[in-house]
Amino acid sequence: MSMDRRSFLKGTLAVGGVAAAGALVGCSPAKQSESAAQAAADSEAADWLGSAPDVTVEECEESKQADVVIVGSALAGVLAAYAALKEGASVIVLERNGYPHISGSGIGFLNSRYQLENGQPEQNVYKIIADVFNQFQLRADISLLSLWGFHSGEILDAIEEDVLQPAGCPGNVPVQDIPADRAGQLAISENCHVDFDPEGNDSLEKFIFAFHDWIKENGGQIDVETCARKLVQAEDGTVTGLIATNAEGKYVYYEAAKGVVMCTGSYGGDERMLDAFCPDWLAKYAKTYNSYNARASETCPVTTTEKMDDGTGHKMMCWAGAVMEQIDPPVNSWFGTGYYWWPFLHVDVRGRRFMNESGSWLCTTHTLAELPDGVNYCWQIKPTNDFDMPMTVPTGIPLSAWEEVVESSHEYYEADTIKELADLIEVDKDTLVETIERYNELCVAGCDEDYGKLPKYLDPIDDPPYRAVKATINFYATANGVKCNNKLQVLDSNWDPIPGLYAAGNCVGWRMGSGYQDIVPGLCNALSLAHGYFAGKNCAA
């Protein structure tokens, strides 16, 4: 079995750990079994890759042919199919579920004719790429970002005309008049964001199904409940097709004359992969708060019994010679209550303040996931007085939005004294009183010299009722994946293309550095869209 370097190291250390645990003098049996359990878990994580199913083309009960075979029918997959069909290729798309995965409805674009005509200003592409790259801690492949930066506008114009407007799903282009007092408060550039949910439910469902319809109307085929299991390679390593299982569990061979495009998304549903690629605290948080199916709906349910985000696609590519990005932390997430947290005081489960509540959600994720005591949530304490909520995409959030969160939460508490509140949320009374006293001092001074919270959001907590709600972060997707060049060809360990193999979307690595950004709303979608488009186009060429 092949194994990547970090997994190998983790496995080696784990084996050493078992031997050492047994040799420790005075170590309690409980401690020993804990160490052994940890070692066993590490060793399992090291085997995240496993081996490809032992099935051959000859053993398949059916075979199908197309120029381009695409795996995954969500955002990256439908853009790949669109571009390949536009190139004149024949296309089959495989989807393991009965329906595609649906994410949020916002996508970032720069300088399309459509945006400019609808009032968004022209953007400085170089500056946005540089700013985003900085937030990626200079650790992404900037050529993958540039593909989006310099070409997303022309892609939007093409799909508006071909797919979205004919389907009655044109983008909504919010134009933000960013107030002067916002300067330095939010990095987000609302004016490069297009939203595709006419009902305002933040769901990309209509957009994705507009593409499904277009693909079928234009000669493409979408095979649902069909899960790709293994790539097929010629002697020289060229990918010539794949083997999948259909709804009856039978093996089907898909022969791809021009190539295969893998658009299989995140691996957040695979615990071994999370253990292998994330630090323990992050793996724990990702397992607890995976929100992959949060946008599934009655018209678009999850019908498969397997997890859609189990990393099968990553494994298929690695079995064929691809390499995974090794980067900490490889996640993309969103704070459970969105931007609503800025005006609040956050305390950990011991009642201590631990963060700048008005900081980027980028750091909030890690701060919260990394809390001690194995806890990855905090308590959000509401200030006494009414206050302005920070404005965000597309129109700003009223205070009533927080009240809605509170009303729908089972973990909301109200009390007449801080000590009673501490009892209800099970934090140390004296610590909570001390924390709130200190916070109020900073609010009165108008200067948070402890954490640097923006003065505008420093509101004291000095009158009953005292109110607290549990705050968590949603984990949406893994951000590391396989190495690709800017033609979206999947590369091997020498960074040479594996002929006939392309990838796009969340299964592509080196696209976000160590944990996303908050400059361009919908950039994760945007990269999937642009990379899907180019992967399909290049594969079909």
Ligand X SMILES: Cc1cc2nc3c(=O)[nH]c(=O)nc-3n(C[C@H](O)[C@H](O)[C@H](O)COP(=O)(O)OP(=O)(O)OC[C@H]3O[C@@H](n4cnc5c(N)ncnc54)[C@H](O)[C@@H]3O)c2cc1C
Residues that bind ligand X (CB under 6 A): 71-77, 94-97, 100-101, 103-104, 106, 227-228, 263-266, 291-292, 294-295, 308-309, 312-313, 476-477, 505-506, 522-525, 528
Q: Which of 255, 254, 259, 256 is nearest to 228 (CA)?
A: 254
Q: Closest CB to ligand X among 103 and 152? A: 103
Q: Closest CB to ligand X among 108 and 351? A: 108
Q: How far is the CB of 523 from ligand X (least distance, A)?
A: 6
Distances (CA, A) of 282 to 128, 182, 375, 513, 533: 29, 32, 11, 16, 31
Question: How far is 207 from 209, CA to CA, in rounded Å?
Answer: 6
Q: Closest CB to ligand X among 73 and 480? A: 73
Helical residues (DSSP H) of 98-241, grouped into ranges: 113-117, 125-135, 142-159, 205-217
Dihedral sign of CA atoms 523, 525, 528, 529 in order: negative
Q: How far is the CB of 264 from ligand X (least distance, A)?
A: 4
Q: How far is the CB of 408 from ligand X (least distance, A)?
A: 17
CB proximity list for 60: less than 8 A, separation 6 or greater: 243, 251, 252, 253
CB proximity list for 479: less than 8 A, separation 6 or greater: 327, 330, 331, 332, 506, 511, 512, 515, 516
Distances (CA, A) of 529 to 86, 232, 441, 525: 15, 26, 48, 6
Q: Closest CB to ligand X among 312 and 440? A: 312
Encoding tokens for residue 168?
A: 């009655």
Q: Closest CB to ligand X among 269 and 383? A: 269
Q: How far is the CB of 165 from ligand X (least distance, A)?
A: 21
Q: Closest CB to ligand X among 471 and 527? A: 527
If one counts every other C-beta atom within 10 angstroms of the C-beta of residue 368, the result is: 26
Partners of residue 162 on adjacent β-strands: none
Q: How far is the CB of 526 from ligand X (least distance, A)?
A: 6
Encoding tokens for residue 149?
A: 């930066």
Encoding tokens for residue 78?
A: 């439908």
Question: How far is 270 from 313, CA to CA, in rounded Å?
Answer: 12
Distances (CA, A) of 249 to 226, 264, 314: 9, 19, 21
Q: Closest CB to ligand X among 43 and 240? A: 240
Q: How far is the CB of 263 from ligand X (least distance, A)?
A: 5
Q: How far is the CB of 177 from ligand X (least distance, A)?
A: 23
Q: How far is the CB of 508 from ligand X (least distance, A)?
A: 8
CB proximity list for 218: less than 8 A, separation 6 or greater: 85
Question: How far is 244 from 60, CA to CA, in rounded Å?
Answer: 9
Q: How many CA atoms lie within 13 A of 259 on its CB side?
A: 24
Q: Closest CB to ligand X among 234 and 294? A: 294
| 8 A C-beta contact, residue 239 and residue 498 | yes
CB proximity list for 15: less than 8 A, separation 6 or greater: 39, 43
Q: How far is the CB of 448 from ligand X (least distance, A)?
A: 30
| 8 A C-beta contact, residue 214 and residue 162 | yes
Q: Closest CB to ligand X among 332 and 440? A: 332
451-483 exposure pattern, b = at least 16 Cβ within 10 A, e = fewer:
eebbebbbbbbbeeebbbbbbbbbbbbbbbbbb
Q: Closest CB to ligand X among 43 and 233? A: 233
Q: Closest CB to ligand X among 212 and 346? A: 212
Q: How far is the CB of 534 from ligand X (least distance, A)?
A: 13
Q: How far is the CB of 229 from ligand X (least distance, A)?
A: 7
Q: Closest CB to ligand X among 140 and 524? A: 524
Q: How far is the CB of 340 from ligand X (least distance, A)?
A: 16
Q: Closest CB to ligand X among 316 and 436? A: 316
Question: How far is 435 from 347, CA to CA, in rounded Å?
Answer: 8
State the Rg of the chain over Cα.
Answer: 25
Q: How far is the CB of 485 from ligand X (least distance, A)?
A: 18
- Per the listing, tokens 């097929």 go with 232
